[in-house]
A and B are shown apart, each in its own frame.
Chain A
């Protein structure tokens, strides 16, 4: 029987993969994709508990999270294009102006 625990376990595996991607990748595009994975993990949790508790509010929050993710992706990709124009690359190591 698939219960809420299975969904929560899958969600945290997805979250941890996303966090690892944010930490280890150099390419700004892949880092943004990993952030999308993290948001998906949060959505999976919301939907799982919504299913378990029979409460629709989780699904409504998931819709709002998807909205936020769409806006975040648009802004993030615009920043990536802007950084590419500025630097000629999309590597995180090249954006080190604030390094002391």
Chain B
């Protein structure tokens, strides 16, 4: 049953990706990209990454897709509809893409043959992705003295486990990511301002 859904969603993902590359109009590419994003989100959920799947739907299929559609609306794509939509070196690019596919595919097949991937054995228990144990120090005042005890408890649920990882183990990268988003927002506003003169 899992295999059926995996192949179904894999087919959706690949179909969407091919549609992105093959469609002439950017709007059609964007809609195929949405299909691909949703397929990837379904695969995330199947791989026990429910939180990342939800973030994928919210950020990619929600936010980034709206940004793309607004940009397609702002730049007039109909005027360029009659022109060739492929690059002038499209043939060489296609060949390079197939060569790349062959190289990485060969690497994966070869590493599978020499049992590098299959040596990983059976998948780990999915429960490890849906729980984490937290250790905290509880300080109480007993008979006028401070007594510190260490308490270890388990929290269950994928979102809870991801949250503990983000806010405990990866706190500094998390804050750096928020500063990065601020910088990206300011940069997008500055770049989008009407200050540049049109030159030809």
Name A's B-contacting residues (CB within 8 A): 1-10, 12-21, 23-27, 29-30, 32-34, 36-37, 40, 43-44, 47-48, 50-57, 59-60, 62-64, 66-75, 77-82, 84-93
Of the candidates A5, A10, A19, A50, the one whose C-beta lies within 8 Å of that of B117 is: A5
Contact residues of B: prevailing secondary structure? helix
A86 and B199 in contact (CB under 8 A), knowing A29-B68, A34-B20? Answer: yes
A-B contact pairs, 16 of them (CB 8 A): A19-B97, A24-B93, A25-B21, A25-B86, A26-B84, A27-B26, A29-B75, A37-B36, A40-B37, A44-B44, A51-B48, A53-B124, A59-B165, A63-B166, A71-B180, A84-B74
Name B's A-contacting residues (CB within 8 A): 2-3, 6, 10, 13-14, 17-18, 20-21, 26, 29-30, 33, 36-37, 40, 43-44, 47-49, 51-52, 55-56, 59-60, 63-64, 67-68, 71-72, 74-75, 77, 79-80, 83-90, 92-94, 96-98, 100-101, 104-105, 108, 112, 117-118, 120, 123-126, 128-129, 132, 158, 161-162, 165-166, 169-170, 173, 177, 180-181, 183-185, 187-189, 191-192, 194, 196, 198-200
Is the pair A14, B162 in contact by a Cβ cutoff of 8 Å? Answer: no
Is the pair B52, A12 in contact by a Cβ cutoff of 8 Å? Answer: no
* Assembly CA distance A17 to B43 (angstroms): 18
Chain B residues, CB < 8 A from A25: 21, 85-87
* Assembly CA distance A80 to B90 (angstroms): 21
Chain B residues, CB < 8 A from A53: 120, 124
Distance in Å: Cβ of A23 to nearest Cβ of chain B: 3
Distance in Å: Cβ of A10 to nearest Cβ of chain B: 5
Chain A residues, CB < 8 A from B6: 2, 6
Is the pair A20, B21 in contact by a Cβ cutoff of 8 Å? Answer: yes
Distance in Å: Cβ of B77 to nearest Cβ of chain A: 8
- Which B residue's beta carbon lies closest to that of A26? B87
- Which B residue's beta carbon lies closest to that of A65? B52
A13 and B180 in contact (CB under 8 A), knowing A21-B21, A37-B17, A52-B124? Answer: no
- Which A residue's beta carbon lies closest to that of B107? A12
